[in-house]
Amino acid sequence: MINKAIFLDRDGTLIKDRGYICRFKEVEIFSFSVEAIKKLNENRYRVIVITNQSSIARGICSEDQILGIHREITAYFKYRGAIIDRFYYSPYLEDAKIENFRKKHDSRKPAPGMILQAEKDFKINLKKSFMIGDSSRDIIAGKKAGCQTVLVLTGNGKMACQELKRQNLKPDFIAENLLDAVEKISYSTKDKS
């Protein structure tokens, strides 16, 4: 049974951050992402995407559109031999336009709710797991959940470096991109397995 996971942010980490996107045709997958996911599969990690999707709360995209994008991304990777186990998303925002989603919710990063839900769903050992993302929210959520963390410099990563310094927080690793992050994780855990 696989009991360790790589939790991935979506925009700026797995795919390019293109603002609020509601259709798969707007998705631009980084050229290195398929290889990175394949390596995680080979190293027996669950691959779980953890993403804030306030576009739903803002009334920009529907929940069905976001679910559709996630199905299409999963299929895109699967067709290329790379398995994403699940997408978790948080549609909530305190000042949401859509009333149903107007609340402070523990699933919205930097809260660790989505990671903790995945821990229950997949019986994940969080101490053996990593959160990879391009924002301070990703790193904080990972740390709160008890994961090791990797900040990638794609997306908002360079800006997040400065934010984390101001908050006196450090990710366990800093990587150029998702593939570099996977290689750093692989190297750091080589002696422990």
Q: Among all residues, which ones are annotated catalytic?
A: 9, 11
Contact 178, 77 (CB under 8 A): no
Per the document, the length of the chain is 193
180, 152 in Cβ contact below 8 A?
Answer: yes
Are the CB atoms for 113 and 102 separated by under 8 Å?
no
The C-alpha atoms of residue 87 and residue 128 are separated, in whole angstroms, by: 20
Interatomic CA distance for residues 125 and 128, integer angstroms: 6
Closest CA to 39 of 8, 1, 80, 82: 82
